[in-house]
Amino acid sequence: MADIIDMPKLSDTMTVGTLVKWNVKEGDTLAFGDILCEVETDKATMEVQNTIPGVLLKTYAAAGAQLPVGAPIAAIGKKGEAAPDPAAKKAPAAKAEAPAKAEKAKPAAGVPAIPESTGVSCAPQALASGDRVAASPYAKRMAAKAGVNVAALSGTGPGGRVVANDVLAAASSTPAAPAGPVNVAVTPPADGKGIQPDADVAVSGMRQTIARRLLESKVTVPHFYLETEVDAAPLLALRETLNKRLAEAAGKDAKDALKLSVNDFILKASAEALRRVPAVNASWAGTSIRTHGAVHLAFGVALEDGLVTPVVRDAQAKSLREVALDAKALIAKARSKKLTPAEMSGSTFTVTNLGMYGVTGFFGIINVPNAAILSVGATVAKPVVDAQGRIVVGQRMVIGLSGDHRVVDGANGAQFLQALKQLLEEPALMML
C-alpha cells in the first residue's frame, strides 16, 4: 500500500511551510536519503529527505504552495500502484495554500502567557478630546515605537489596563492587509525604467520571523551601547603567520589548508573575554537572571532570504583551530540550506560582523534571550599616535556592544570590551 508523505515539522515553532521546489518528479525511483524537496520554515529553507524507498507516485502540492504541518505533499509506493486519495487521510488543521495564521506573540521569559486577543485593530483611531487611555507609561512608549494605537487595544492588566505584553502581542500579530500599499504612493520614474519594478514583494516566512523577533527585542529589551577602538595590527600579523604555517604544513594540499579569518579570532577572543567577565554570558528570566556555564557563540551568516545565526557550542573549551573549523562547517551548511534548527538555537552570546562590507562601526539588535551582541567593523588604516608620540599609520578596528540593561550594567559591558580589546591586541593570550 502506498504511503503519503506529509509536510514535516522542521522547527519547534513551525506551523506552516512553503514548498519552495521539488527536487524529484513523479515516476522517479527514490532511495532512502534522497532529497525530495526544499521547504521554507520560519527559520530557514531546509531540504526534506526521503525515508521511504519506492516510486514517487504523485505530488499533491506545487512549488510555491504554503502548507500547514501534516498536510499531504506526496505519495510513494510500488511502480504502477495507484496514488491514494489524500482526502481519505485526516484533514490538516489549516487549508493548503491558505495564508499562514499569525503566530501568537511569545511573552518574554518569566512572563505568564496572555490569552490570545481577537478583533484587535492597530489602525489609527481618533480619540475624543479629554479621553484618557488606561495604559502603563512603558506600554505607551512601546506603542509609540512600534506604531501601535494604544486606544485600540484590549488591556489584560488590572482593570483592563494596557500593559507591555498587550502592545507586543498587537505589534507581533499580522493584521489583515489594508487596501492598497501601506506606503504613500510615489510617482513612477520619468524615464519609464527606474532601478527596479514597482511591486509588492511577498514576505517569506523567514523574513516574517526575523521581523517579529527583532521587533520583540527592540521594544521589550532596554538596549544600551558601548564601543571601543582596537589596534588590529598584532592580530593581522599573527593571522598572516598562522595561515602561512598552515599552508606549509599542508604541503601539496596547501589550497585545501585551513585559512583563519579575522572573524575566527573574534569568536575565540569573545569566548575568552566571557570567561573573564561571565556576567555578560547570561539571560533575563523574568524574576531572575540565568547565568550560563558554557559559551555557545552565535554568529551571523547572510543569505539571500535574510540572516541566520548558527551556533558554535562550548566555545570556551575549544582551541582557535576548533572554533574556526566549526564556524566554517556551519557557514557551509547555512549556504547549502542544510542547517538544522538545533544548530541555530541555544546561543548565549552573538557576534555580528559587517567589516567585509566596509562598515566601520554599528550596533546590532540583541538576539534574545542573549544579554548582549558584539558588533565588529572593518579594519581601517588610519593615522594614529604611537607610544613615542609619533604619528604613524595604524590598523584600527571598532567593536561595539549592545547590552540588555536588565542583565548587564554599563560597568560589566565595559569590562567585557576591555578584556576583549586586550585579547585582540595581544592575540597570543587566547592561545593559552
Which structural domains are found in the chain, ordered by start? Answer: 3-88 (2.40.50.100), 223-431 (3.30.559.10)
Cell output for 19: 514548498
Rounded to whole angstroms, the Cα distance separating 168 from 256 reads 49
Which of residues 150 and 260 earns the better pLDDT score? 260
pLDDT digit string, tens, across residues 236-264:
999 999 999 999 998 888 788 899 999 99
Angle at 347 between CA 223 and CA 351, to 5 degrees: 60
Q: How many helices and strands (H and E) does the chain possess? A: 7, 18
296 catalytic? Reply is no
Cell output for 94: 489549516
Helix/strand/coil for 428: helix
Quote the mean pLDDT of the chain: 83
Predicted local confidence at residue 305, as pLDDT: 74
Which of residues 211 and 95 earns the better pLDDT score? 211
Alpha helices per DSSP H over 300-377 = 320-335
Predicted local confidence at residue 40, as pLDDT: 84
Given a contact cutoff of 8 angstroms between Cβ atoms, the answer to whether 15 and 100 are in contact is yes
pLDDT digit string, tens, across residues 354-409:
999 999 999 999 999 999 999 999 999 999 999 899 999 999 999 999 999 999 99
Q: In what helix (H) or strand (E) does residue 214 lie, and over which residues does it extend?
A: helix 205-220
Mean pLDDT, rounded, for 166-195: 66
Q: Which of 105-114, 145-154, 263-272, 362-371 has the lowest mean pLDDT?
A: 105-114
How far CA 379 is from CA of 75, 223, 395, in Å, comes to 54, 25, 6
pLDDT digit string, tens, across residues 111-141:
334 333 333 333 333 333 334 678 877 677 7
Nearest to 70 by CA among 54, 101, 91, 40: 91
Mean pLDDT, rounded, for 46-70: 89
223, 292, 296, 405: the catalytic one is 405
Which of residues 422 and 341 earns the better pLDDT score? 422
CB atoms closer than 10 angstroms to residue 186 = 8
CB atoms closer than 10 angstroms to residue 60 = 20
Nearest to 46 by CA among 12, 19, 77: 19
Q: In what helix (H) or strand (E) does residue 3 lie, and over which residues does it extend?
A: strand 3-6
Rounded to whole angstroms, the Cα distance separating 97 from 45 reads 17
Q: What residue has cell string 502506498?
A: 2
Angle at 373 between CA 356 and CA 165, to 5 degrees: 130
The CA dihedral of 44, 106, 343, 6, to the nearest 10 degrees, is: -50
Q: Which segments of 309-418 are extended strands (E)?
A: 311-312, 349-353, 372-385, 391-404
